[in-house]
Structure 1
């Protein structure tokens, strides 16, 4: 018993999985598709709704219990199988829809599904043609809803088939292919944008490498000469102690400058900053952080400047990038004070506030006029950019009395990974997840670059949506025009059918018994339309050996249960009887 139950459950699970077929032409990832359970739940709900609608329609047509139940079961099964077997479901829907009015809505759903899932134009044309022929063959074998297969009825049913089956299939096919194409273009566009960024980034990297090489070859050589000459002067016995101390300061400064130049060249070449050492090393290079501020102050004092360092609050650790920015603010402010206010007293203050570190450098008015100063004008601008990258700010300006003040506010929690170069100029990128060729994070995907690229992608997507909207509107207008034409043709054919099977009372009275059959038929409509179908089997018995023509009356009756008709019976080439009577509708 348990084994049988397991086999049954396994079979049901396999059938469930088989029915949960994926969408065709879809380039979306599996994570973007609805789960099979949710999709099949929606399909079961739709199948139940279509089955109930089919039962209600059959009940409205006074169908028997067997026919009503069969229509409901057929509608449910076709709805469930339309995804996995779109062509057989379409053929069965059209085959049953011709003779069962309850399958009319299922025909539309099957046409929509087949247009969406049948891959290839030729296959789609063959599928819809087979469905049309199956419907016509079923109508020829078993007329549905009392509609015989006459030429005029065939034209009407063809137009109905085009409007109810072919048109939904065309709209569904266009909509699905357009969405698939748009998604493919979006992915292609994103990849092209990423590749363009990589090419531009490589060009910038090559330019940075060229600049780094020039700096290394020119400045490195000059600094090396300064270090060699100052080292030789430092051991010259003819110098005094004061002179030897000044030369030692110059040699230390040149060695530190060579180290910093090497780091800057490395940043320009590789785009990353080298690891920072501890407070000091054997080369005499100062630590590049708040711990190195004291060394900067001592070096300035050794050069003959009056510098005072003041620390307020309890020292707190900063992130490496913010710590380095604090060092650079003090260094640049001291350099500006040396150049623009020689001999002026300088005050350096480090204030550890609850939420940030405040670095303030205040220099007094110059005691001696400054000579020709070589300045690129980029020092303070670089400080502001450096502070901005770590979430801080720098203010610089003159103070009352002729002094100058530089103050920076740096948060404690600034991240270390922020690049020193401008974010939009950084060349380290990687494509968005899901793009072709996504083999791993070969480059950084920084926020600024992502926003720029996605902005361009969104703009291109909007342009694609606008052009697609215009095309879609054109297709919708064309489809609406075809539907209006089909409805108009159907109405015209219906009116023509009524005219071919109806006469008024005056015409009936003018025809006399005994008139030649040819003359009477020339004056009467042809009959034999769906409006007169079945009327010859009702009413009084026909004269023996006669052939009768039954037509509807143009007059309306007071009740909805009876229909006034006129019957003309012929024998031996003459009209032998004409009779007016009422039949049940």
Structure 2
């Protein structure tokens, strides 16, 4: 809300709350007509309260409580300023976050009014007025406490609404994050397929063309053409690498306004370390749905035969695929072989390659090793293949070892047939040079590529079966996190509403009981016996008449027409009977100059 709008609302509130005081200065409908100094003082006090209503709502409530108590004490009127007290009390309940200061303030105001108001009435009227004490106590409760409780309930309701909207906003942001993660997973899946399949095929094509380039049986023009074709395939592999990098990183040029906005909102992704961490998380989330072997996918033997047909000097040692291997492990074995052959074709063209596959109870060992190449590899790498492969192996509880071996390069994977119940073990993040990976990658012992065709005996590792912890979705975690705060807010709202209802009922019951008791008391203590009234004569001294009068009058002014009052006289009204709920008949005694000037019977 703008400051100008708030100022206009405050001025309007002041005008509305000041109308009863202005009306009391013009007419006698609400109460005895107020003097203009009293009206101006009341309007000024209301203006001060309105000025304090926003920054200091407790002060505003106490100012109007003092104004109302003052009008009761001086004028005996509870009607003119009670709207200001009720409105300021309600606003204090809405705007004050804590209840204790307001309750203490109202309690102090009620206690002070209970003492000051009757005392002022006694000083002004020379008569102890029990009704003033009643108005002082019940007025603060009805016009101060009850509106404050209603405002406090409104405050709690608004707090609950804000908490609900905050929860909805956080859930919406969480769902947007999940949608973004799903989009990134899809992009990563596309990048993975392009890297694994298309990259593998391009490497084999380059290998075939490279064989033609060095074939001495072809004329020079054909070998030159083969060299140009090989360079074109290499350039295509470079473009493929760029596309894969864009798909994996999630940002790139020319992807439209939506992507540019996303990039601006996530500028922290430009940090290299965070990019690597996000990539690893994406790979970790997406390897689960890949762990099923596709029947149409090439087997290990078919992969080796196709590479050999392309001109790669590759040999397969060990057993063939075992049908008893679980589908996830079989799919990973095939991917290890494909990745190893692709890397050998890229980085060691023409070097002998050895593929080893061995099965043991509960475990499969697969390795791809190449010797040193006499030719310089011209392939390109984005560093994602081994990283994704290492993460996939780790998720299945296996281990991946890669590094230089005998002048070449060796890749060895040990893969259990059963994934640990609680997922893969958490190891220190290590990886090959330039490739961050959460899997420990070590240089294996030297394994000659052309020796030991027997199966490799795998190491036996004790199985660990930690207790599985149930996973919770992010939005469920958020709901569980916010639920205690929302439950507390709901309880506060219910308590405040219940307290307001109970206070209203208690105040109503107290007012009813007090009114009944005061009516009986007033009727019993204001009776002038008919015999005593008959003895009174006009002209008697006021002191002589006062000796037979009751302690208090019944009313100050009858509400029905009465005979004219003698000029300059002041009149008192007494009951004719102690009956509190019957027809009200009165004796009127008028005094002037210290003597009784008129006595009148007033029927009901």
TM-score under structure 1 length normalisation: 0.44
Which TM-score applies when normalising by structure 2? 0.43
